[in-house]
């Protein structure tokens, strides 16, 4: 049987289309499929000598630029068709990565490629916080290097507004999947039985992909010295020294992004690691802040057991479900940790190495998101200061390894 498929990405800018296109590319390739991405933006930047990132270029009323964009779209369709024809009788997939939000554009695609071996994938994300963060990251790409950060953000937002005016969601197309790219969740699915690769693709869409995630705990803080809970202490001089050693250890790996909590000790460590990297940004989320110990914040475990033995006892009795008075428990951290992880995955796109610097309870929760653990065991997962967890996940494999720093 001649197995081939055109995948047509659909969605507004910053909704995770290109990340998903890459994810499909890598997964299909791993399955032995011949696969190629045809990206309209890439072609526009390559073939156009002038910088076309300014918003008016994307104004649908601007006839000249609209015609240019259609030309690039057509060129990619021709290239994709050629790719499919060239590899006749092989398992092959051409991924067309562009916004494709207007009905007219999609009609042109269907009339050029036919209706049958065509799958539209609409990427949806309505989470304003994550879209804003993604726009901030996008504003740093070379296309905007001639603009200030604010101008780039304005420009991207204006571009998105223009696309919104011509956006018609998928509805009557023959084969389509709508996916919530932030939650990697399928929202709607209408696909012919037996459409090549569609079952496999469905699996890719709902699987979080992580090439390499390094999960670290911050090095020694002043509170750690006295075994005190929570707080917002700085790193000790030993903590700073160890952070430099860890930074040297990771200097061999390219780290474009480091994620931290908003607490001083993780940010301080990230800044040290950043010194040993080129082009490395730090993104801090309060979703990754350490468990809030409420009325016992700042106390040591010993003090708690002496002054408030009932808290100590109750927590030991059922640590996962115990919630500190005026504070949190592991159980009540679930939602924010999950949200933090999803933000990391969304913003990391397809980069090779992701680094998270967290805290003891936070890192236990992050690990348990990826690796199944009984809830009652989660508060006892070992989270060393002199080691880290390495996590790799794709649809075929889950790797999770505790490594010690050697220095």
Q: 377-406 mask for ligand F6P (x: CB under 6 A)?
A: --x---------------------------
User: What region, left, alpha or beta, does residue 45 occupy, with left being phi > 0 and alpha being psi -120 to 50 degrees?
Assistant: alpha
- Under rule CB under 6 A, residue 361 binds ligand F6P: yes
Q: Which two tokens stand for residue 236?
A: 């000790």
Cα 227 from Cα 218, distance rounded (Å): 14
Instruction: Tell which one of 205, 290, 342, 385 touches ligand F6P (CB under 6 A).
Output: 290
Is 359 one of the binding residues for ligand F6P (CB under 6 A)? yes
**CA nearest to 58, candidates 158, 177, 197, 132:** 158
As a whole number of angstroms, the distance between CA 144 and CA 99 comes to 19
Spatial distance between the Cα atoms of 346 and 132, rounded to a whole number of angstroms: 12
239 binds ligand F6P (CB under 6 A): no
**Inter-axis angle of helices 330-348 and 128-138, to 10 degrees?**
40
Tell me the per-residue interface mask from 77 to 116 with ligand F6P, x by CB under 6 A, - otherwise. ----------------------------------------
Q: For residue 18, what are the contacts with CB-CB under 8 A and spacing of at least 6?
A: 9, 39, 97, 349
Q: Quick one: which of 13, 41, 230, 329 contacts ligand F6P (CB under 6 A)? A: 230
Question: Which is nearer to ligand F6P, 173 or 290 (by Cβ)?
Answer: 290
342 vs 360, which CB is nearer to ligand F6P?
Answer: 360
Closest CA to 34 of 79, 95, 76: 95
Q: Which is nearer to ligand F6P, 95 or 293 (CB)?
A: 293
Q: Is 273 in the site for ligand F6P (CB under 6 A)?
A: no
Q: How far is the CB of 370 from ligand F6P (least distance, A)?
A: 19
Residue ranges in 124-153 that form contacts with ligand F6P under rule CB under 6 A? none
Look at residues 205, 200, 209 and name the one whose alpha carbon lies nearest to residue 121: 205
Q: Does 229 bind ligand F6P (CB under 6 A)?
A: yes
Provide, rounded to whole angstroms, the least separation between the CB of residue 303 and ligand F6P.
Answer: 13
Q: Kindly tell me which residue out of 58, 360, 378, 388 binds ligand F6P, with binding defined by CB under 6 A.
A: 360
Nearer residue to ligand F6P within complex by CB, 291 or 341: 291
Question: Residue 250 is inside which H or E element, if any?
Answer: helix 237-250
Stretch that binds ligand F6P, among 41-49, 83-91, 237-245, 359-367 (CB under 6 A): 359-367
Q: Rule CB under 6 A: say whether 328 interacts with ligand F6P.
A: no
Number of C-beta neighbours around residue 47 at 10 A: 12
Q: Rank residues 15 and 218 by Cβ distance to ligand F6P and give the closer one.
A: 218
- Nearest-angstrom CA–CA distance, 175 and 110: 11
Count of Cβ atoms closer than 10 Å to residue 384 Cβ: 15
Binding region for ligand F6P (CB under 6 A): 229-230, 290-291, 293, 359-361, 379
């Amino acid at each position: 049987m001649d197995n081939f498929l055109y995948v047509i990405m659909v969605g507004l800018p910053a909704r995770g289309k290109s990340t998903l296109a890459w994810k499909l590319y890598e997964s299909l390739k791993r399955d032995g499929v011949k696969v190629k991405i045809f990206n309209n933006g890439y072609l526009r930047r390559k073939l156009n000598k002038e910088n076309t990132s300014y918003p008016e270029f994307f104004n649908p009323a601007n006839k000249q630029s609209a015609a240019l964009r259609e030309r690039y779209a057509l060129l990619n369709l021709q290239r994709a068709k050629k790719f499919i024809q060239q590899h006749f009788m092989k398992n092959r997939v051409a991924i067309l990565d562009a916004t494709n939000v207007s009905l007219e554009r999609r009609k042109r695609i269907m009339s050029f490629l036919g209706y049958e071996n065509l799958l539209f994938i609409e990427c949806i994300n309505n989470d304003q916080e994550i879209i804003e963060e993604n726009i901030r990251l996008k504003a740093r790409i070379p296309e905007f290097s001639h603009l200030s950060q604010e101008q780039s953000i304005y420009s991207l937002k204006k571009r998105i507004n223009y696309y919104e005016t011509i956006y018609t969601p998928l509805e009557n197309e023959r084969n389509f999947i709508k996916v919530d790219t932030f939650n990697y969740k399928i929202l709607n699915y209408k696909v012919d039985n037996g459409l090549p690769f569609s079952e496999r693709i469905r699996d890719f869409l709902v699987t979080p992909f992580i090439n390499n995630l390094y999960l670290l705990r911050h090095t020694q803080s002043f509170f750690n010295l006295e075994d005190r809970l929570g707080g917002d202490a700085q790193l000790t001089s030993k903590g700073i020294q160890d952070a430099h050693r860890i930074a040297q250890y990771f200097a061999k790996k390219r780290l474009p992004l480091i994620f931290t909590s908003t607490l001083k000790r993780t940010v301080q460590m990230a800044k040290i690691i950043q010194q040993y990297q080129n082009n490395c940004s730090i993104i801090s989320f309060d979703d990754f802040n350490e468990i809030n110990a409420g009325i016992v914040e700042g106390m040591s475990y010993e003090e708690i057991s002496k002054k408030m033995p009932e808290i100590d006892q109750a927590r030991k009795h059922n640590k996962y479900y115990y919630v500190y008075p005026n504070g949190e428990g592991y159980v009540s951290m679930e939602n924010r940790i999950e949200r933090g992880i999803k933000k990391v995955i969304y913003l990391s796109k397809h980069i090779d190495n992701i680094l998270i610097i967290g805290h003891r309870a936070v890192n236990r929760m992050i690990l348990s998101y990826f690796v199944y653990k009984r809830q009652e065991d989660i508060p006892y997962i070992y989270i060393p200061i002199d080691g880290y967890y390495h996590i790799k996940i794709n649809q075929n494999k889950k790797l999770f390894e505790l490594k010690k720093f050697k220095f």
